[in-house]
Structure 1
Amino acid sequence: MRALILVMDSVGIGGAPDAERYGDEGADTVGHIAEACMAGRADSSAREGPLRLPNLVALGLGEACRLATGRVPPGLEGRVERGQFGCACEVSKGKDTPSGHWEIAGVPVPFDWGYFPRTTPCFPAELTRAFCEQAGLPGILGDCHASGTEIIAEFGERHMRTGMPICYTSADSVFQIAAHEETFGLERLYEISAIARRLIDPLNIGRVIARPFVGTSSKDFRRTSHRRDFSVPPPEDTILDHAAGAGRDVVTIGKIDDIFAHRGTGRNMRGDGNMALFDATLDGLASLADSGFLFANFIDFDTLHGHRRDVAGYAAALEAFDNRLPELLSRLRSDDLLIITADHGCDPTWSGTDHTREQVPILAWSTQSSSRIGRRAGFADMGATAARHLGLPEPMQGAHF
């Protein structure tokens, strides 16, 4: 008996009831991708035609979309063959990665994050001065709201000449630092990111993200998989804490350990991209002891395609993930629990480059006949369900299904 939660990062299924407050009324990541595919607007060298996700559909993705929006996206019609399906609305106040993941793990965020203003410069002058002094930096570049790939293209060559890191933010509660792995150094980037983490604690900023990249010019700069998030820890114990405290085997995949500030995250396994992360998930499952818990994040949907508003790439990534699912399902035991979900949306058809406030799917694999979980008021029900399955203390928030 084991439990797994897989987070398809940003795979939202329609605007949350409060989406208007976030400027996201009408956003629908999966629905709009499916419509674009059906209309031929997502054809590329990697894929063409309607969105094909037969394994996710068999687990209930299309019907989860129906619960969230009242309709099944084109191409996702089909019978739910084995599983429980539903959708959930976030109760935390953000639409960011930590809020979504912490809530899935049983701890909604009860406070407002701090954010940097949409000005240039966007960082307080005293913060920038302290950062440069304590990190021994000649200055910083950027100091604005920006897309990560665009700001690296704009300032990357100057960064390599001057040694000044590229610092920027987004609509999330985040301080991001981009630097060249070779000319600046990966360990040096991590070192200054840790300094920034200490400095922004009083501002209640959720994450400092170290964003390493390689390349020789703006024409070939590329971010690498050596990203590292420096997060504040969750305000209460999550299912990870409960599992670790009970001596259970815990395996985390991808950036889960960073998101939870390495608290209760057990053995972490990483990979460069979704397919490598899927390989790591299979390896982690093979080594997961009985009564153990595996928590995985698949980042490419969000980072490579959602934020870049790449509809065709997002569709191809969904199809590639779907194609790998039979490998995972064939390795599950009859008493295992698998939940596939998301942490927020990032509609690639939406304006801007930020996350979108959306409902998320809940797809729970089961050896029993299909059933309906329904609409859940909070992501924490997933953590409560996994905890109940493993016989762990259930988080203070959430109701198991």
Structure 2
Amino acid sequence: MPRALMIVLDSVGIGGAPDAEAYGDAGSDTLGHIAERCAAGLGDRAGLRAGALRLPHLAALGLGLAAAGASGRIPPGLNTAGRPAGAYGHAVETAAGKDTPSGHWEITGLPMPEPWGHFPETRPAFPAALTQALITEGGLPGILGDRHAPGVAIIDELGAEHVRTGRPICYTSADSVFQIAAHEEAFGLEALYALCRVARRLCDPYRVCRVIARPFVGSAKAGFRRTGNRKDFAVAPPGRTLLDRAEAAGRSIVSVGKIGDIFAHRATGREIKPGPNAACLQAGLDALADLTDGGLIFVNLVDFDTEYGHRRDVPGYAAELEAFDARVPEIQAALRPGDLAIITADHGNDPTWTGTNHTREQVPVLAFGPGVTPRSIGRRDSLSDIGATVAAHLGLPWDGAGRPFL
């Protein structure tokens, strides 16, 4: 029986979506702009990387051609010599928004037609009733922040006051999020998680997609830094996903990285959350070695987004892409006859763009494995085509959105 491996390169968009203008993102192109900056010598960082963007293995799978389908041009350095080694194309998100859960849910056959609730870019950003309820039910002396802000910057700004007063740092962004940052030692990690559970319930009437715990450590003198103990408290998918269908069929499921949080831990099987991209990819490959017939592994590699996209770090993003590309041969070697691997993304986060938020972009779809015929699959009008294809490959019944492309 066949198996499937899905890898989401979180935020690796390949060109503005048809409706990007409505989101203020017309002209955004995460992969293309990174490649252009690198080709111009603007992606160099001493001790990290230098020169043109080098993604030979992803290019061989058709990434450059997929980008050309989405943006009209092959990014510098991503030309394919000869026939691509897999099926390649690009997909358009139909869900309203550009958030991580919406993208992942659509990948698994559940597009969200209604937009999430968002907090306005005002000061304060949160409704007074929500803030007061959080203070009262959370037993807090108050909160700090209460505005749109980049996470690292607001922790640097307010971390010392938070430690001194015990008031957590609450902030948001253009995404549908309520984020709470607190010091792991001074406030307590479990106390932060408990507060986020309260906030999750309080945010439900506002249609807020995620409440995110953002723990950090350090001091004003030594500097503050976020830790790997982030935890997302997301709304559960409002319908059946590919994961639900796999679970109902008794299939083995392994979720790596943020997948468990994104799907509210429903039908996510064995969850592994080891940390950075390299560790998550290794965990996925280790799980693949033992995966039973008919099983599914779903991996999210979040560092592209959180560490480099939101921080507008072109050299860091480029280096992370190159590090992943170097391991593509490992993925190919781990596939058995009958296996299917798909590499894709959930949205964009162009590090050359204004602001620090996600960008509304199309995403690559690279499908490969011992039995996959190399060819163009063209434009897919929904990310749900990915879930429909995996369901067909695994022999799962399908009544979700999307159409198989293999």
Q: TM-score, normalised by structure 1?
A: 0.98
**Other-structure match for 1:235:** 238
Partner AA of 1:354 in structure 2: N
User: RMSD between aligned alpha carbons?
Assistant: 1.0
Q: CA deviation at 1:287?
A: 2.4
- Distance change in 2, residues 1:239/1:369 (3 Å): closer
Within the alignment, does 1:213 sit opposite 2:222 as a pair? no
Indicate conservation of the 8 Å contact 1:37/1:48, yes or no: yes
1:188-222 CA distances to partner (integer Å, 9 max, x unpaired)?
11000000000010111000000111112275311
Aligned match of 1:2? 3
Cα gap change, 1:190 to 1:375, in 2 (>3 Å): same
Mean CA deviation greater in 322-331 or 22-31 = 322-331
Partner of 2:22: 21
Superposition pairs of residues 63-78 of structure 1, within 5 angstroms: 63-78=65-80
**Which AA in structure 2 matches 1:394?**
W
| Cα distance change, pair 395–50 in 1 and its aligned pair in 2 (3 A) | farther
2:79 alignment partner AA: E
CA change 1:306–1:201 in 2 (3 A) is: same
Q: Assess if the C-alpha contact under 8 Å between 2:335 and 2:369 holds in 1.
A: no
Determine which of 129, 132, 140 is the counterpart of 2:135: 132
Q: What are the within-5 Å matches in structure 2 for residues 86-165 of structure 1?
A: 86-165=89-168
Structure-1 residue corresponding to 2:395:
391
Q: Paired residue for 1:289? A: 292
Per-residue Cα deviation, 1:136-181 (whole angstroms, up to 9, x for no partner): 1111100000000000000011111111110000000110001111
Q: 1:355 aligns with which of 358, 361, 383?
A: 358
Q: How many residues align?
A: 401
Q: Cα distance 1:175–1:26, how it changes in 2: closer, same or farther (>3 A)?
A: same
CA contact (8 A) 1:3 1:337 kept: yes
Pairing 1:174–2:148 present: no
Do 2:343 and 2:364's aligned partners in 1 also have CA atoms closer than 8 Å? yes
| Correspondence for 1:377 | 381
| CA contact 2:241–2:400 (8 Å) conserved in 1 | no
Alignment of 1:33-72 (within 5 A): 33-44=34-45, 45-72=47-74
Which residue number in structure 1 is paired with residue 253 of structure 2? 250
Measured in 1, the distance between the counterparts of 2:134 and 2:241 equals: 32
Cα gap change, 1:110 to 1:218, in 2 (>3 Å):
farther
Q: 2:345 aligns with which of 339, 342, 346?
A: 342
Percent of paired sites with the same residue: 61
Q: Is the 8 A contact 1:269 1:284 kept in 2?
A: no
In structure 2, give the amino acid aligned to 1:398: G
Distance 1:346 1:273 in 2: 18
- Name the residue aligned to 2:273: 270
Deviation at 1:4, TM superposition (A): 1.1
Structure 2: gaps (5+ residues)? none
Deviations along 1:87-137, one digit per CA (max 9) or x if unpaired, are 001000100101100000100002121110110110011111110111111
Tell me how far apart the structure 2 counterparts of residues 215 and 328 of structure 1 sit (CA, whole Å): 37
Match among 258, 263, 266 for residue 260 of structure 1: 263
Which residue number in structure 1 is paired with residue 13 of structure 2?
12
Q: Which residues of structure 1 form unaligned runs of 5+?
A: none
Asked whether the equivalents of residues 91 and 365 of structure 2 are also in contact (C-alpha less than 8 Å), the reply is: yes
